[in-house]
Structure 1
Amino acid sequence: MAATRILINDNGRQWDEENAKEDSPTSKKQIGAKWEGRFPLSKWELAAAVSVFSLFVIGLLCVYSTMPAAEYGNIKLPRSISDLRILKDHLANYAKDYQAQFILGYCSTYIFMQTFMIPGTIFMSLLAGALFGVIRGLLLVVFNATSGASSCYFLSKLIGRPLVSWLWPEKLRFFQAEIAKRREKLLNYMLFLRITPTLPNTFINVASPIVDIPFHVFFFATLIGLIPASYITVRAGLALGDLKSVRDLYDFKTLAMLFLIGSVSILPTILKRKRTYE
């Protein structure tokens, strides 16, 4: 049996030669390549995904079945600001008359969409502002976004690795390298990513367990980091008539403010590095 050489990296950590080969640039190019031409999930992983999805759908249907009757023909997931205005008009009285039931249905839908990366949660956030105002709307959005992101994290931990490697191989390699460089101040970096649009939130949700970000770091970074952008979106929901498209939410001024807030979160890391090199 061939002996395995032990290597030492710059941080003093040990790993064997076989693992070192896996971390080499040549092997990294193969991430995602092995999934080319075929669906990445095995039969077991696909069955697990379908089972989890089915459970969520059944739970969602159970919630809807307990809600008071409504004109469901007029209710659909919005895909544009004009759709959202129509939906808001149909739901305004319903949300006021059956507030508890409506909030339960709203939360269930938001978490379902966030868990399975279904586009449209930004419209749900705008709707929260339009129907509930800034404070209650913000609490609702942050709660649902954090719960849905956490649910997506655990789903990805179960079956996400082959799927993410197949869909976003380059982005995953970049994320993995950035996380490896920032292990000591991981919470600060995750806060920066959540506050700023550097990486899509959907990608962060599914890639975090794959690059070994601890759940407590993921959870607190999500809970705190989503507040600024959620506030902007919920506040915009109060004036749906002034919005022409979702792009109006994030103009240059808004993006600059988010990056400024995000920069504060990584300031301790920058200062520590500066002291180290002095």
Structure 2
Amino acid sequence: MNSKKIILIMIGLATVALFFYLDLGRFLTLESLKANRQLLLAFYADHTLLMVAAFMVIYIIQTALALPGAVILSLSAGAVFGPLLGTTYAVTAASIGATLSFLITRYLLREAVLNRFGSKLETINKELEERGINYLLFLRLVPVFPFFLINLAAGLTRLPLRTFVLGTFFGIIPGGFVFVNAGASLATINSLSDIASPRVLGSFALLGLFALIPALYGKVKKQADS
């Protein structure tokens, strides 16, 4: 491993260590968001571009390094920026962060990830390689596996970067909008379970099944022809 890779890995580890050492997770709670919403809105009114840039950088780092707080950040986007702009910022930042995680896995941490999660990722790897964007859309739409595990799994496959970016971006829009839109009505939320209701999760499952239809059709057709 060359010195540049070692430096990048050390920076990532230092960032994760700093996050937990400073207990920054205490700011990424529903209670903290509710308590500080007015301060965030005031700062956004006075420093619009800085607020948007800071939010996106934080979200990108959180996603790239698989730190806690993604749901609260999505709620924050709705609470501060509103449903449409909030969804745009959150989905874009999450997609960039996921892409960085994908690239880090592919080019820096391949062996380490295989040693740590190899057996858990075997099924995802196989399906991603065979079905590409359709299976990726299914994984993004249906919360079967944790978000960061999908990033790691995709990074271990030969899935093209463009396919990963497009599948991730469009696949997380529905879920992103649900949480961002909920954040726009922050006062009505008492717990995170108020958002991820069985009805909402069921809707995501149906969307995921639609995404799999082309892949399933191709598999059935292939078996019929053989």
What band does the TM-score fall into relative to the shorter chain?
0.7 to 0.9
SS at match of 2:109: helix
| Deviation (angstroms), 1:43 | 9.3
Quote the residue 2:21 is aligned against: none
Once the 2 structures are TM-superposed, how far is the Cα of residue 90 of structure 1 from its aligned partner? Answer: 1.9
Q: Does 2:70 align with 1:121?
A: yes
CA distance in 2, matches of 1:213, 1:52: 24
Q: Distance in 2 between matches of 1:42 and 1:251?
A: 47
Compared CA separation, residues 272 and 206, structure 1 to 2 (3 A): closer
* Structure with the larger RCO, 1 or 2 (CA within 8 Å, 6+ apart): 2
Provide closer, same or farther for how the CA distance between residues 165 and 149 of structure 1 changes in structure 2, counting only shifts above 3 A: same
Partners of 1:43 and 1:97 lie apart in 2 by 42
Match of 2:140 in 1: 194
Q: Which has the larger radius of gyration?
A: 1
Unmatched runs of 5 consecutive residues or more in structure 1: 1-40, 56-74
Per-residue CA deviation, residues 184-211 of structure 1 (Å, 9 max, x unaligned), is x311111111111011111111221212
Deviations 1:108-127 (A, max 9, x none): 11111111111112111100
How big is the shift at 1:54?
6.7
Larger mean Cα displacement after TM superposition, 46-55 or 142-151: 46-55
Deviations 1:191-237 (A, max 9, x none): 11111101111111122121222111101001100000001001100
Letter of the structure 1 residue corresponding to residue 65 of structure 2 = F
1:148 corresponds, among 74, 94, 97, to 97
1:62-141 alignment to 2 at 5 Å? 78-141=27-90
Q: In the alignment, which residue of structure 2 is the partner of 1:203?
A: 149
Give the match for residue 19 of structure 2: none
The answer to whether the Cα contact below 8 Å between 2:12 and 2:65 also exists between their aligned partners in 1 is: no
Q: Give structure 2 stretches of 5+ with no counterpart.
A: 16-23
Shift of 1:178: 2.7
Question: Which is richer in helix?
Answer: 2
Cα RMSD for the two superposed structures: 2.6
Match of 2:199 among 237, 253, 263: 253
**Identity of counterpart residues, as a percentage?**
24
